[in-house]
A and B are shown apart, each in its own frame.
Chain A
Amino acid sequence: MKAIIAATIIGVIMMFASILSNNKSGIVSLATVLFFFLFGINIWEVYESINATGVAAPAYLNNMMSLDSFAIWFSMLMSGCALLYILLLGKEIAKVGKHVGEYFALIAFIMVGIYLLAGYSNMLMLFIGIEILSIPQYILAGSDKRNLKSTEASLKYFLMGSFSTGILLMGIAMLYGATGSFDIINFRMLQTDALNPLALSGILFLIIGLGFKVSAAPMHMWTPDVYDGSPTPFTAFMSTIVKAGVFVAFLRLFHASFGNLTNHWMMIVAVITATTLFIGNITAVFQQSVKRMLAYSSIAQAGFMLFAILSVNATAWQGIVIYAVAYSVATIGMFAVLIKLKDYTYDGFNGLAKKEPALAFFTTIFLMSLAGIPLTGGFMAKYFVLLAAVQQGQVMWLVIFALIMAAVSVYYYFKVIIAMYFKTGEAELNHEVTGYDKLMLGITCLLVILIGLMPQLLLNL
Chain B
Amino acid sequence: MTMTNLVYLIPLFPLIGFLINGIGWRTIPKSVGGLIGSITVLASFVVSLGIFFEVKSTGASSTIVLFDFIQSGKLNIPFAFQVDSLSVTFLLIITGIGFLIHVYSTSYMHEDEGMVKYFAYLNLFIFSMLLLVLGANYLVMFIGWEGVGLCSYLLIGFWFKNRDYTNAAKKAFIMNRIGDLGFLIGMLLILFHFGTLSYQDFFGQLKSGATANPSMYNWIAICLFIGAMGKSAQIPLYTWLPDAMAGPTPVSALIHAATMVTAGIYMIARSSALYNLAPDALTFVAWIGCITALIAATIAIKQYDIKKVLAYSTVSQLGFMFMALGMGAYTTAVFHVMTHAFFKALLFLGSGSVIHAMGGEQDIRKMGGLGKKMKVTQITFLIGCLAIAGIPGFSGFFSKDEILAATFEHNKAIYALGLFGAMMTAFYMFRLYTLTFTGTFRGTHDQEHHLHESPAAMTFPLIILAILSVFGGYIGLPAVISETHTLRNFLSTSVSNIAHEEMAHNTEWMLLGISTAIAVVFSIIGVAVHRKPNFVANTGLSKVFENKWYVDELYDTIIVRPLNALSDMLDRFVEKMGIDGIVNGIGKLVRFGGDRVRLLQTGQVGFYIFVMVIGITILFALSFFWIR
* B578-609 interface with A by 8 A CB criterion: 590-591, 593-595, 597-598, 600-601, 603, 605, 607-609
Which A residue sits closest to B189, measured CB to CB? A396
Q: Among B34-42, B55-63, B166-174, which stretch is in contact with chain A? A: B166-174
Q: Which of A398-418 contact B (CB under 8 A)?
A: 399-400, 403-404, 407-408, 410-411, 414, 418
- Contact between chains at A282 and B622 (CB < 8 Å): no
Chain A 183-216, CB-CB to B under 8 Å as 1, else 0, gives 0000000000000010011001001100010000
Q: Which residues of B contact A (CB under 8 A)?
A: 26, 67-73, 75, 142-143, 146-147, 150, 157, 160-161, 166, 169-170, 173-174, 177-178, 180-181, 184-185, 188, 191-192, 590-591, 593-595, 597-598, 600-601, 603, 605, 607-609, 611-612, 614-616, 619-620, 622-624, 627
The answer to whether B597 and A267 touch across the interface, beta carbons within 8 angstroms, is no
Check B73 against A315 for contact (C-beta < 8 Å).
yes
Structural contact, A265 and B75, CB atoms closer than 8 A: no
B-chain residues with CB within 8 Å of residue A456 when the two chains form the complex: 68, 70-71
In the assembled complex, which residues on chain A have CB atoms less than 8 Å from the CB atom of B593? 282
Within 8 Å by CB of A264, from B71, B143, B615, B627, lies B627
Residue total for A at the interface (Cβ-Cβ under 8 A): 66
A-B contact pairs, 9 of them (CB 8 A): A265-B623, A268-B627, A386-B188, A390-B188, A418-B166, A418-B170, A421-B157, A454-B69, A456-B68
B619 near A208: Cβ-Cβ < 8 Å: yes
Inter-chain contact B619/A272, CB cutoff 8 Å: yes
Q: Which residue of A lies closest to B153 (CB)?
A: A414
Given that A418-B170, A422-B160 are known contacts, is A160 also in contact with B146, CB under 8 Å in the complex? Answer: no
Q: Which B residues are CB-close (under 8 A) to A160?
A: 605, 608-609, 612
Q: In the complex the two chains form, what is the Cα distance from A423 to B79 in whole Å?
A: 37
Kindly list 16 other residue pairs between chains A and B, CB separation below 8 angstroms, not including A208-B616, A403-B181. A155-B605, A160-B612, A218-B614, A221-B612, A268-B622, A268-B623, A314-B73, A373-B150, A374-B142, A390-B192, A393-B192, A407-B177, A407-B181, A421-B160, A422-B160, A456-B71
Q: Is B598 within 8 A of A221, CB to CB?
A: no
Instruction: List which A361-393 residues lie within 8 A (CB) of chain B.
Output: 373-375, 380, 383-384, 386-387, 390-391, 393
**Residues of chain B lying within 8 A (CB to CB) of residue A436:** none
* 224-280 of chain A: CB within 8 A of chain B: 224-225, 263-265, 267-268, 271-272, 279
Closest Cβ–Cβ distance, residue B83 to chain A (whole Å): 22
Report chain B residues within 8 Å CB of A455.
69-70
A396-B192 contact given A387-B72, A411-B174, A455-B70, CB 8 Å threshold: yes
Contact of B601 with A374 in the complex, beta carbons under 8 Å: no
Kindly list chain A residues whose C-beta atoms are within 8 Å of the C-beta of B184: 403
Instruction: Please determine whether A221 and B594 come into contact, CB atoms closer than 8 angstroms.
Output: no
In order of increasing CB-CB distance, the 6 nearest A-B pairs are A218-B615, A221-B608, A374-B143, A422-B160, A282-B594, A422-B166
Partner of B173, one of A218, A380, A414: A414
Q: Which residue of B lies closest to A408 (CB)?
A: B590
Known: A268-B623, A422-B160. A286 touches B594 (CB 8 A): yes
The CA of A286 and the CA of B601, in the complex, are separated in Å by 12
Determine whether the beta carbon of B594 is less than 8 Å from that of A271.
no
CA A207 to CA B45, docked complex, whole Å: 57
A373 engages B146 (CB within 8 Å) = yes
Contact of A156 among B185, B605, B612 (CB under 8 A): B605
Q: CA–CA, A272 to B192, complex, Å?
A: 23
In the bound complex, do residue A204 and residue B594 qualify as a contact, i.e. CB atoms below 8 Å apart? no
**In residues 270-301 of chain A, which contact B (Cβ within 8 Å)?**
271-272, 279, 282-283, 285-286
B620 touching A204, Cβ below 8 Å: yes
Complex: how many Å from CA A407 to CA B230?
14
Which of A225, A282, A387 sits near B191, CB closer than 8 Å?
A: A387
Contact of A374 among B147, B591, B598, B622 (CB under 8 A): B147
In the assembled complex, the Cα of A146 lies from the Cα of B237 at a distance in Å of: 53
Judged by a CB distance under 8 angstroms, whether A219 is at the interface is yes
> How distant is A20 from chain B, measured CB to nearest CB, in Å?
39
Q: Is the CB of A264 within 8 A of B72?
A: no
Contact (Cβ within 8 A) A410 B177: yes
A163 within 8 A of B: yes
Given known A-B contacts A267-B627, A399-B188, A403-B181, A282 and B619 have beta carbons under 8 A apart: no
Distance of A168 Cα from B18 Cα, bound (Å): 53
Task: Tell whether, in the assembled complex, residue A219 and residue B615 are in contact, meaning their CB atoms are under 8 Å apart.
Answer: yes
Q: Which of A219, A221, A315, A407 contacts B178 (CB 8 A)?
A: A407
Q: Which residue on B lies nearest to A314, using beta carbons?
A: B73
Pair A219/B623 contact, Cβ less than 8 Å? no
Tell which of B147, B601, B605, B627 touches A224, judged by Cβ atoms closer than 8 Å: B601
How near does chain B come to A197, taking the closest CB pair, in angstroms? 8
Complex CA–CA separation, A407 to B70 (angstroms): 23
Q: How far is the CB of A203 from chain B (nearest CB, A)?
A: 9
Chain A residues within an 8 Å CB radius of B598: 283, 286
Assembled-state Cα–Cα distance A222/B601 (Å): 9
Most buried by B among A159, A219, A410, A459: A219
A217 sits at the interface (CB 8 A):
yes
A302 smallest CB distance to B (angstroms) = 15
How many angstroms from the CA of A390 to the CA of B608 in the assembled complex? 34
Q: Is the CB of B191 within 8 A of A390?
A: yes
Given contacts A283-B594, A373-B150, A422-B166, contact A400 B622 (CB under 8 A): no
The answer to whether A218 and B188 touch (CB under 8 A), given A285-B590, A407-B180, is no
